[in-house]
């Protein structure tokens, strides 16, 4: 079956021409798909005969809300979406004064193995298709009634480990006949997969690159982030400097504050040293504690921020949203996994 929603407008128009349809049908179908229709029958300006042909040859991805949590504090909504094969991923709608942001997943599970992250528990199952990433935006808007103006690829999975599909998703979500969210309103986060960073640098997309740093020294980073054994932190900073040289765009460095692990003054000093020569923003994140992890929230958040700022580094503490729900990445999916083990109804895993 053909996945129409993962096609570009040009590919879709070509497919419909191959069915004997005029070229303008491609734009009509593309527009319907990007409105988040749940069936081909909703495409009312297409002939019934064409709709029947599409049903026979094509799939229409429509995720189901498996679980939903709404924060009474700030209106943050956490979704667990169940896809056609039964697997589940998470997305989060966050409300800010400048607009609504949705954080989406790029994979089912993750193989990167970061020691403090719930997303990587049970490893990677599969990549998401461009359509499945797009669906998280479309159906979050549809279910919540809130128009999304910003996207962050910072949910379950490593985007650089599914880069071809991620790039196709970016092309689709940026299209003027679709949701039309500009690249400057999109952030892509990576734990430090250097070939992916280099590829983005060559493409010169106007998105914001976020690096999940979490430690500036190789010894610490290798203990909490296995990716550092493949792409050492020194090589990672070199890749970041090259990215800035080619694109001129500032990089955001995500830094989850872990008590007694990565919150020492000398580590703040090392961050400042390695950022020298390029602009960089350090986003300090209060650690979301995971039951399976021994790590706890740092008690030196303010002191670490002060140490960075004393050396001219822009450092902010991420605002905590959805504190009364499972808003941290991977938590809701993990809960569903536990329910499955108990024999309760939920998503399936390891497919």
- Other Cβ atoms less than 10 A from the Cβ of 223: the count is 13
Pair 108, 102: CB distance under 8 Å: no
Question: What tokens does 204 get?
Answer: 């010169």
Distance in angstroms (rounded) separating the CA atoms of residues 69 and 258: 26
Residue pair 227/192 in contact (Cβ under 8 Å)? The answer is: yes
For the chain, where are the alpha helices, taking DSSP H only? 9-18, 24-33, 48-57, 130-144, 163-173, 194-203, 218-224, 227-230, 233-247, 265-275, 301-309, 331-341
| Residue 42 backbone dihedrals phi, psi, to 5 degrees | -75, -15
Residue with tokens 């030196």: 300
SS3 315: strand
- DSSP assignment of 235-281 equals HHHHHHHHHHHHH-PPEEEEEEEBTTTS--HHHHHHHHHHHTTS-EE
Residue 254 CA to residue 210 CA, distance in Å, equals 7
Note whether 107 and 157 are within 8 A (CB): yes
On whether the CB atoms of residues 239 and 197 are closer than 8 A, the answer is: yes
Number of helices and strands in the chain (H, E): 12, 14
Q: How many CB atoms lie within 10 A of CB 129?
A: 18
Burial class (CB in 10 A: 0-12, 13-18, 19+), 330: buried
Catalytic residues: 90, 329
Do β-strands 64-70 and 58-59 pair in parallel, antiparallel, or remain unpaired? unpaired
């Amino acid at each position: 079956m053909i996945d129409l929603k993962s096609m570009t407008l040009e590919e879709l128009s070509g497919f419909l021409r191959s069915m004997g349809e005029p070229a303008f049908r491609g734009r009509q179908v593309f527009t319907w798909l990007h409105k988040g229709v749940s069936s081909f029958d909703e495409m009312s300006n297409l002939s019934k005969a064409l709709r029947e042909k599409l049903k026979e040859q094509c799939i229409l991805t429509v995720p189901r809300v498996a679980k939903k949590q709404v924060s009474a504090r700030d209106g943050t909504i956490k979704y667990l979406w169940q896809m056609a094969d039964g697997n589940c991923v998470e997305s989060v709608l966050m409300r800010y004064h400048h607009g609504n942001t949705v954080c989406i997943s790029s994979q089912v599970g993750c193989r990167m193995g970061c020691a403090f992250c719930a997303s990587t528990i049970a490893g990677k199952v599969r990549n998401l298709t461009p359509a499945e990433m797009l669906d998280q935006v479309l159906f979050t808007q549809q279910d919540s009634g809130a128009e999304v103006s910003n996207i962050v690829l910072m949910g379950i999975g490593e985007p650089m480990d599914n880069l071809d599909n991620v790039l196709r998703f970016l092309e689709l979500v940026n299209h003027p006949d679709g949701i039309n969210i500009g690249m400057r309103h999109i952030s892509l986060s990576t734990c430090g997969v250097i070939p992916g960073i280099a590829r983005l640098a060559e493409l010169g997309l106007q998105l914001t690159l976020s690096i999940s740093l979490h430690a500036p020294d190789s010894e610490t980073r290798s203990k909490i982030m296995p990716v550092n054994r493949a792409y050492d932190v020194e090589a990672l900073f070199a890749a970041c400097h090259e990215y800035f040289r080619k694109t001129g765009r500032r990089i955001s460095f995500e830094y989850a504050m872990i008590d007694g692990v990565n919150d020492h003054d000398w580590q703040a000093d090392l961050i400042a040293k390695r950022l020298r020569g390029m602009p960089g923003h350090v986003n300090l994140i209060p650690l979301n504690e995971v039951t399976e992890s021994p790590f706890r929230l740092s008690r030196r958040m303010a002191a670490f921020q002060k140490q960075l700022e004393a050396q001219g580094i822009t450092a902010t503490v991420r605002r905590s949203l959805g504190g009364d729900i499972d808003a941290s990445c991977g938590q809701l999916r993990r809960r569903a996994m536990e329910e499955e083990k108990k024999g309760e109804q939920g998503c399936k895993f390891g497919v």
